[in-house]
Amino acid sequence: MFKGSIRNKLIVLLLIATIVPFGTSIVITYYHTTESLKIQAIKENSNLLYQGKVNLESYINELNGLTLSLYNNPGFINFLRDPQKANNYQAVEATRNVISTILYAEENIKRVNIAISKEDRMITASKRSTVIFSKKWSNTNQEYFIKAKESPSNMYLEPIHKIKEPDDKKPKNVITLHRSLVNIPSDEVLAYISLEFSPDQITNISRNLYTKDNEEFYIVSPEGELIYRSFDESEGGSYNQKWIEWVTKTNKENGTVEWKEGAFNGVMIYDQLSQNSGGWYLVKRVPYTTLYESAFNVAKINIMFGVIGLALVILATLFISFRITSPIRILLQYIEQVEKGNLKVRFRSFGNDEIGYLGDRFKQMIDKINDLINREYKLQLENKTNQLKVLQSQVNPHFLYNALQSIGTAALKNQVPQIYSSVTHLSKIMRYSMNMEEGMVPLLKEIDHTKAYLLLQKERFGDQLQFSFELDEEAMMLPVPKMILQPIVENYFKHGFDAREKTGEIKIVCRQDEFFLDIFVEDNGTGVAEARLDEIHGSLVNDRIGQKGEETNIGLKNVYVRLKLYYGARAYLKLRNLEHGGLIVSIKLPKRMEGGQDESDNCG
């Protein structure tokens, strides 16, 4: 009825006026914040990579400078030009000094190798051995010597590989710097020097360029080989050849690209070392979840304050709407009472505005209607009362007397529609109870019959009686034995209801599950003594009709016997006192009758 009410419209209007701007503000703020964070993060990471690039270039140039320092030793260069003088003590000693100087110039250098081109000779030195002169050098590094020779800077960095010295228990990771020593000013290669150094310093520099667990960092050679990565193989990660191939083939020394592949979705920032420093690529990959974490937090805060603001708006809306629409709703409630036949409605004035004027005119209209009823329909009320008295020969005279007396009294004091309603309820009861052709009926019919009975009792007791139904609409068409509810309700009026003590309340609940239908009749009456309750249960189970107590439980017994006839042991009827006073009668019925026959087959 109130779906289109002023109050609901006002609430919806104010909510829309609040939610739409606020929601739009959150969305715009979120996207603006994420874009700002993205730009700021790219700038910060680009600067960080540049600083890492400078540090790595400085370190590699330091190692590269050690190899270039050989040109400053004429004795060593002359030795390379004419290795036949190797038996010259001074030349050999000068060579030893040069190699030792390079070996101990940097703590991460593990081994120095010099391959002499003319004589195919090898000079090797490590921190665990002296300088060793070999007559022949292997072709293991031939590939890297060629790359060093062809490089514009005569230098090539071999990616991480393993070496094992005699005293080592397991191989160690090293990076090798290969340089071709040229007989300047000609292009003749005198020898190749290889510095094998630990990647510890590169690792230390790299660890300052990323946040562990949140970002990925890589160092990649121009050939696409991995020099460093920020996670171990056991930790997984995004080591995928596609993005490495993209980075190595790009023509830019640095830049940024959005990348989505597999589990990674974010921004990839890269920078390249100079060719004189090996041309390595520094690549940092930042997922959007990390990049936008601050934006998520800001959005959460905005939403939290928005919810608080929305709650305040709702409270304000309800307050305003109640102040404006409450008089109208009260007036509608009184109109509903008039529709039900209560023309004795009285209410205080709503004020001096339009709504107050409407309320005053409504009261005047009701008074005129009462006068018309008292003058024009008094005779018809008397006739209706006489017609109802005829029914006394067909139903319980005591009940019918009280019901008709209530109907007559209400008719004289109120109006014709109430008489019509009462007579209708009574006729339904008579028609339903006297129809002997029906054994099973839909639950809806049984509820309607009980409701008609309660409405007649309501006419008798007025405000001293309240009743309610709590029904499962999907269960209304389930078949049940006829006349199982009204006798239980009637029992309440015979033994548990006393209008002089308090307002009587009765509640009927019907609900179902997959296999059973449950019906509860609950009242606030005087209840039943425990001893008497045991006696009633015994009477139901042991078929003791006709003994003491027959008059008080014959209705229950009749219901119980019919339940057993229809359902056998699968149905039950129980009585239990409530803790707060009153009695509850529980009926449990299977949805299928005993023997598998569907109950709906027996519906009249």
pLDDT at 104: 87
The two tokens of residue 475 are 């269960």
Mean pLDDT of 436-461: 86
CB distance 11 to 321 below 8 Å? yes
Return d(Cα 349, Cα 447) in angstroms, integer: 40
Work out the burial of residue 473: count CB atoms within 10 Å of its CB; fewer than 13 is exposed, 13-18 middle, 19 or more buried: exposed
- Residue with the bigger pLDDT between 436 and 476: it is 476
CATH 3.30.565.10-classified regions of the chain: 461-602
Return d(Cα 416, Cα 409) in angstroms, integer: 12
The two tokens of residue 486 are 């009204």
Q: What is the pLDDT of residues 162-201, one digit of tens each?
A: 887 766 678 888 899 999 988 888 888 888 899 999 898 9
The two tokens of residue 496 are 């548990």
- Residue with the bigger pLDDT between 268 and 318: it is 268
Return d(Cα 136, Cα 8) in angstroms, integer: 98
Residue 517's pLDDT band (cuts 50, 70, 90): very high
CB distance 507 to 571 below 8 Å? no
Q: Helices (DSSP H) in 69-108: which residue ranges? A: 74-81, 89-103
Mean pLDDT of 486-515: 85
- Residue with the bigger pLDDT between 29 and 603: it is 29
| CATH 3.40.1840.10 holds for 202-293 | yes
| Candidates 3.30.420.40, 2.40.50.140, 3.40.190.10, 3.30.450.20; CATH matching 73-201 | 3.30.450.20
Residue 392's pLDDT band (cuts 50, 70, 90): very low
Mean pLDDT of 329-349: 75
Strands 504-512 and 465-471: parallel
- Cα–Cα–Cα angle for 254, 255, 257, rounded to 5 degrees: 145
Residue 598's pLDDT band (cuts 50, 70, 90): very low
**Residue 586 pLDDT > 50, yes or no?**
yes
The two tokens of residue 154 are 């005569």
Residue 603 φ/ψ, nearest 5 degrees: -70, 135
Count other Cβ atoms within 10 Å, centred on residue 543: 11
CB distance 184 to 305 below 8 Å? no
CB distance 495 to 525 below 8 Å? yes
Q: What is the pLDDT of residues 342-373, one digit of tens each?
A: 777 776 776 776 677 777 787 788 778 777 77
The two tokens of residue 379 are 């005779």
79-88, 285-294, 454-463, range with the lowest pLDDT: 79-88
The two tokens of residue 464 are 């001293």
Return d(Cα 9, Cα 218) in angstroms, integer: 60
Which stretch of DSSP H or E encloses residue 67?
Answer: helix 6-68
Count other Cβ atoms within 10 Å, centred on residue 559: 22
- Residue with the bigger pLDDT between 54 and 500: it is 54
Return d(Cα 33, Cα 507) in angstroms, integer: 58
CATH 3.30.450.20-classified regions of the chain: 73-201
Rg of the chain over CA atoms, in angstroms? 50
Q: For residue 481, what are the β-bridge partners?
A: 440
Which stretch of DSSP H or E encloses residue 204?
Answer: helix 200-207
CATH 3.40.1840.10-classified regions of the chain: 202-293
Residue 104 φ/ψ, nearest 5 degrees: -100, 5
Q: What is the pLDDT of residues 537-581, one digit of tens each?
A: 888 877 544 444 444 567 788 888 888 878 888 888 999 998 888
Q: Which of 345, 349, 334, 459 shows the shortest CA–CA distance to 408?
A: 459
| Candidates 3.90.1150.10, 3.30.70.260, 3.30.565.10, 2.30.42.10; CATH matching 461-602 | 3.30.565.10
**Residue 269 pLDDT > 80, yes or no?**
yes
Mean pLDDT of 306-330: 74
The two tokens of residue 265 are 């979705």
